Amino acid sequence: MRINKKDFIKARVNISITPRQIGRERALVLAKALKVHPAVILFPDYDIAEAA
């Protein structure tokens, strides 16, 4: 069986997803696996004392 290049089409790039969204999605999955809140992974240097 021969593979013909004409049988394939180029994949479309999904430009609606930004790298930040990809990082957020990964953080959500990792947080679920570690059983922690996603904010712990997304904002590791956040200090509540500075915000108050």
pLDDT tens column, 14-32? 666 666 777 888 889 999 9
Residue 29 lies in a domain: yes
Spatial contact of 31 and 38, defined as CB atoms under 8 Å apart:
yes
- The contacts of residue 38 (CB under 8 Å, 6+ apart) are 24, 27, 28, 31
| Total tally of structural domains belonging to the chain | 1
Residue 9 lies in a domain: no
Could you list the residue range(s) of the whole structural domain that residue 41 is in?
Answer: 23-52
Give the integer Cα–Cα distance in Å for 27 and 29: 5
Residue 1 lies in a domain: no
Q: What pTM value is reported for the model?
A: 0.54
pLDDT band for position 34 (cuts 50, 70, 90): very high
DSSP state of 6: G
Give the integer Cα–Cα distance in Å for 24 and 16: 14
Supply the pLDDT for residue 24. 86
